[in-house]
Amino acid sequence: MGQLALQRLPPVASLPRRPPSLPPPSLSSATTASRRPLPHRFYVARAMSSHIVGYPRIGPKRELKFALESFWDGKTSVEELQNVAANLRKSIWKHMSDAGIKYIPSNTFSYYDQMLDTTAMLGAVPSRYGWEGGEIGFDNYFSMARGNATVPAMEMTKWFDTNYHYIVPELGPDVKFSYASHKAVVEFKEAKALGIDTVPVLIGPMTYLLLSKPAKGVEKSFCLLSLIDKILPVYKEVLDDLKSAGARWIQFDEPILVMDLDTSQLQAFSDAYSHMESSLAGLNVLIATYFADVPAEAYKTLTSLKCVTGFGFDLVRGLETLDLIKLNFPRGKLLFAGVVDGRNIWANDLFSSLKTLQTLEEIVGKDKVVVSTSCSLLHTAVDLVNEMKLDKELKSWLAFAAQKVVEVNALAKSFSGVKDETLFASNSVRQASRRSSPRVTNPAVQQNVAEVKKSDHRRSTEVSVRLQAQQKKLNLPTLPTTTIGSFPQTADLRRIRREFKAKKILEIEYVQAIKEEIEKVVKLQEELGIDVLVHGEAERNDMVEFFGEQLSGFAFTSNGWVQSYGSRCVKPPIIYGDVTRPKAMTVFWSSMAQKMTHRPMKGMLTGPVTILNWSFVRNDQPRHETCFQIALAIKDEVEELERAGVAVIQIDEAALREGLPLRKSEQEFYLDWAVHAFRITNCSVQDTTQIHTHMCYSNFNDIIHSIINMDADVITIENSRSDEKLLSVFHEGVKYGAGIGPGVYDIHSPRIPSAEEIADRINKMLAVLDSKVLWVNPDCGLKTRKYSEVKSALSNMVAAAKLIRSQLNKSENLSSSKFCSYYHFLLSLNLLSMTID
């Protein structure tokens, strides 16, 4: 028990495959298997009060990702996909059961997204997908997630302040809700057949509605909470179904309670659970909140609910909630104490967590405290035991999801009087090792950051003046076209990078192969007629990992994958120490690409805020200190790119909005330092060097003034998948004087938009934006698409830009011609001087 890192998830490959007899291919299809009663020791371990909010579903080696993509490509059957899913669920439940967890969640597995699962459960399928009732199958489910050949996907945006994306429900007064996916009860029965009693998890009705949006054609002012009475009957059906199946507990995830809700919203929350009280009878009810403090009024409303057995709180990011608990916690209720961090990979300080639990014991009593994770472990990597790249010291500082399960149980056992002294002693040594390691702190870097805070790092010239200087140098047409950065990453390209890392090919062979790929991308863009080119990022595995690998203070895993959305997984770097840039990171490739063309070639960088927000960040200093360190490193790279002759430099800040605190009272401070960090990166470049930035898949309207304050010359920003709601901010009168490229098509769908459709989008943009500042580009990078899709979509995009450009030129010529005719008319009447007077 002393070696926490060796506790691991059972390998999926070793689990038995599903029997040949299979149910119809619906979303909730699953198999069950009989299992002998578990040994007596199992029941003894489970007597400890421990709980896991949720668990990663991708598998320790991304088994779900590969199964999904194979199924989407038509290479494998629905039965094979379901086999992989069933084996993953079984391995997860077994791991938690064997570790001694008492309250094990079910229905946290998803083929794409838990919010989409809830949309399916409620039968809230938008009419464009042609669903005609009955159990929702994979065709409708994946069409909503990804779109298809004829209709676009539903909007996708960030899940609170995480890098996980959810599919946004589209609701209106005419939606007919019905119980259309029995996934929750099917998976509960599946676990029960394995001898494991689980807690089914549902997205709560308030969180579901308040994270939805009015459907197209519905007034923006439509009150989503007006639908509460329509969805509660479906929730009741689900609850009755679960009770009939033998469920004793139900977990409602209501993270919306950490947001700034008004009195009417809190009343609706209270009324909703009171309305479900009869269906909740006979069930123990847990309401889980996470990601931040629960505001005082929301806490009061939540803990006043009579039908609830236990309340779950994030006590890692929600330390102020602890003060509310000390003031008042309802007698007789269970407190699910989220003391193990579900969003980071640092080993828990067991002694510190135990102190917190002992404090709670004094308030609510030992038998009422349940040790839990701060949120779902979905947001951390799966299993540390699969890591071979990390050195022994660094590895000793970490805990992934599989290890966090063991931490939860170790704390629960210790709290109940069965303390593993060896484990706690080992944990103490590892915590001390991290605090004292010389690899963590660099005094010179700390001093540089202290100096940075003395200036606001604004460029010395206004953006309007800079744009004029840049236009003289770049000579771009009206409505210049560009892409966001990456081009498709083919299997051959990934193989070349793997072989180079494994030292199976020489560096000269690797450079030649990447050079050929860049040449192909450059030639394709020139043939398509794109105005500002990119080199395609063939040398990059990931937009954050690529930079982190070349910065000090970063470490990398071999299998530390985390789900971003659907089958898309990322491998976040681990920032363990102070950050510096030992040498140039992109100059070689960008300079090479620029020499291949006479057109402007963007130098592509990832910004400091995005690197921070898409990494596992050290928790021993404020996040903004780490961000400023990264900003100084990127600043060095920007200056070296400029010296190398790169005239357009894009510094992506895709995740700037993502890091926005959930509470309004904390947002100004974050935006101040995040925007400042971006400005640091490019404050010293010449006026003729054009600085771009890019943002994607978030709601930007509420931070538009901070985006303007970034002072970039051009911003490209996601727009098409979110029904162009970005444009509404300009309808409301916001003036944006820099270049801006709202995305004209969604790259996360295989659907190829027509030139006419893109032209229509451009015209909508021109209704609120000046043609002199408007750029034409996709929503995001093209890494996940196939070349066949990319060629067709970009060809249509360029054709649309040229069409609108031609129309604008005709309009200008016509206006000029009319003015000249009027001028000559006045002259002929000898009235010109009078008119001027």
Given this model, what pLDDT does residue 831 score? 43
Q: How confident is the model at residue 337 (pLDDT cuts 50, 70, 90)?
A: very high
Q: Are 548 and 576 in contact (CB under 8 A)?
A: no
Given this model, what pLDDT does residue 34 score? 34
Q: Give the pLDDT mean for 370-374.
A: 98
Residue 407's SS3 state is helix
Of 373, 401, 376, 399, nearest to 106 by C-alpha is 376
Cα torsion 204, 210, 212, 214: sign: positive
Given this model, what pLDDT does residue 544 score? 92
Task: Estimate the crossing angle of helix 183-193 against helix 78-99, to 10 degrees.
Answer: 60
CA distance 163 to 513: 32
Return mean pLDDT, the chain: 90
Q: Are 54 and 376 in contact (CB under 8 A)?
A: yes
Q: How confident is the model at residue 141 (pLDDT cuts 50, 70, 90)?
A: very high
CA distance 827 to 544: 65
Given this model, what pLDDT does residue 733 score? 67
Element (H, E) at 360: helix 350-364
What is the per-residue pLDDT across 118-134, written as a single tens digit (0 to 9) for each?
999 999 999 999 999 99
Q: Are 635 and 449 in contact (CB under 8 A)?
A: no
Instruction: Determine the number of helices (DSSP H) and then strands (DSSP E) in the chain.
Output: 30, 21
pLDDT more than 70, % of the chain = 90
Given this model, what pLDDT does residue 820 score? 52
Element (H, E) at 252: strand 249-253
What is the per-residue pLDDT across 243-270, written as a single tens digit (0 to 9) for each?
999 999 999 999 999 999 999 999 999 9
Q: How confident is the model at residue 9 (pLDDT cuts 50, 70, 90)?
A: very low
Given this model, what pLDDT does residue 452 score? 86
Given this model, what pLDDT does residue 576 score? 98
Q: Are β-strands 334-340 and 369-373 bridged in parallel, bridged antiparallel, or unpaired?
A: parallel
pLDDT over 50 at 16, yes or no: no
As to burial, measured by CB atoms within 10 angstroms (0-12 exposed, 13-18 middle, 19+ buried), residue 14 is exposed
Q: How confident is the model at residue 388 (pLDDT cuts 50, 70, 90)?
A: confident
pLDDT over 90 at 223, yes or no: yes
Task: Estimate the crossing angle of helix 319-327 against helix 350-364, to 10 degrees.
Answer: 20
pLDDT more than 90, % of the chain = 82
Starting at the edge strand found earlier in the chain, the sheet holding 690-695 runs: 602-606, 648-652, 690-695, 714-717, 739-742
CA distance 190 to 819: 77
pLDDT over 80 at 105, yes or no: yes
Q: Are 57 and 563 in contact (CB under 8 A)?
A: yes
Phi and psi at 253, nearest 5°, equal: -85, 115
Residue with tokens 């009579």: 306
Q: Are 633 and 611 in contact (CB under 8 A)?
A: no
What is the per-residue pLDDT across 161-182, written as a single tens digit (0 to 9) for each?
999 999 999 999 999 999 999 9
CA distance 62 to 281: 39
What is the per-residue pLDDT across 547-565, written as a single tens digit (0 to 9) for each?
999 999 999 999 999 999 9
Q: How confident is the model at residue 319 (pLDDT cuts 50, 70, 90)?
A: confident
Residue with tokens 């000029």: 816
CA distance 77 to 211: 33
Residue with tokens 């089914």: 200
CA distance 569 to 563: 4
CA distance 119 to 179: 10
Q: Which domains does the chain have, with CATH numbers?
A: 53-436 (3.20.20.210), 453-544+597-811 (3.20.20.210)
Q: Give the pLDDT mean for 79-86.
A: 98
Contacts of 502 (CB under 8 A, 6+ apart): none
Tell me, what amino acid is at 354? L
CA distance 36 to 34: 7
Biggest CA pair distance of the chain: 109
Residue with tokens 């629905």: 78
H-only helix segments in 173-328: 183-193, 205-210, 228-244, 263-275, 277-280, 296-303, 319-327
Given this model, what pLDDT does residue 1 score? 36
Given this model, what pLDDT does residue 614 score? 94
pLDDT over 50 at 826, yes or no: no
> Which tops the pLDDT comparison, 297 or 749?
297
pLDDT over 80 at 365, yes or no: yes
> Which tops the pLDDT comparison, 832 or 671?
671
User: What count of Cα atoms within 13 Å lies in the side-chain half-sphere of residue 686?
Assistant: 13
Given this model, what pLDDT does residue 833 score? 44
Q: How far is Cα of residue 704 from the mean position of the Cα atoms in its chain?
A: 20
Residue with tokens 């901010």: 729
Element (H, E) at 213: strand 213-214
pTM for the whole structure? 0.87
Q: Are 156 and 146 in contact (CB under 8 A)?
A: no
Given this model, what pLDDT does residue 8 score? 41
Contacts of 834 (CB under 8 A, 6+ apart): none
- CA distances to 127, 156, 315, 504, 680 from 727, rounded to whole Å, are 25, 17, 38, 50, 28
373-377, 387-391, 603-607, 718-722: least confidently modelled range: 718-722
Q: Are 103 and 199 in contact (CB under 8 A)?
A: yes
Of 176, 199, 179, 178, nearest to 187 by C-alpha is 199
CB neighbourhood size of 17 (10 A): 12
As to burial, measured by CB atoms within 10 angstroms (0-12 exposed, 13-18 middle, 19+ buried), residue 598 is exposed
As to burial, measured by CB atoms within 10 angstroms (0-12 exposed, 13-18 middle, 19+ buried), residue 72 is middle
- CA distances to 27, 432, 558 from 397, rounded to whole Å, are 39, 10, 17
CB neighbourhood size of 505 (10 A): 16
What is the per-residue pLDDT across 403-425, written as a single tens digit (0 to 9) for each?
999 999 999 999 999 999 999 99
Phi and psi at 740, nearest 5°, equal: -145, 135
Q: Are 562 and 572 in contact (CB under 8 A)?
A: yes
Distance between first and last Cα of the chain:
94
Tell me, what amino acid is at 800? A
What is the per-residue pLDDT across 607-625, written as a single tens digit (0 to 9) for each?
999 999 999 999 999 999 9
CA distance 328 to 317: 20
What is the per-residue pLDDT across 710-720, written as a single tens digit (0 to 9) for each?
999 999 988 87
Contacts of 824 (CB under 8 A, 6+ apart): none
Q: Give the pLDDT mean for 28-34.
A: 43
Phi/psi region, residue 123 (left: phi>0; alpha: psi -120 to 50; beta: rest), is left
CA distance 300 to 805: 58
pLDDT over 70 at 218, yes or no: yes
Given this model, what pLDDT does residue 40 score? 31
Q: What is the DSSP letter of 103?
A: B
Of 198, 276, 289, nearest to 239 by C-alpha is 276
Residue 605's SS3 state is strand
Element (H, E) at 363: helix 350-364
pLDDT over 90 at 3, yes or no: no
Catalytic residues: 748
Given this model, what pLDDT does residue 834 score? 43
CA distance 65 to 58: 6
Contacts of 617 (CB under 8 A, 6+ apart): 344, 575, 623, 626
- CA distances to 377, 587, 631 from 643, rounded to whole Å, are 45, 10, 19
Q: How far is Cα of residue 25 from the mean position of the Cα atoms in its chain?
A: 29
Given this model, what pLDDT does residue 120 score? 98
Q: How confident is the model at residue 660 (pLDDT cuts 50, 70, 90)?
A: very high
Residue 620's SS3 state is coil
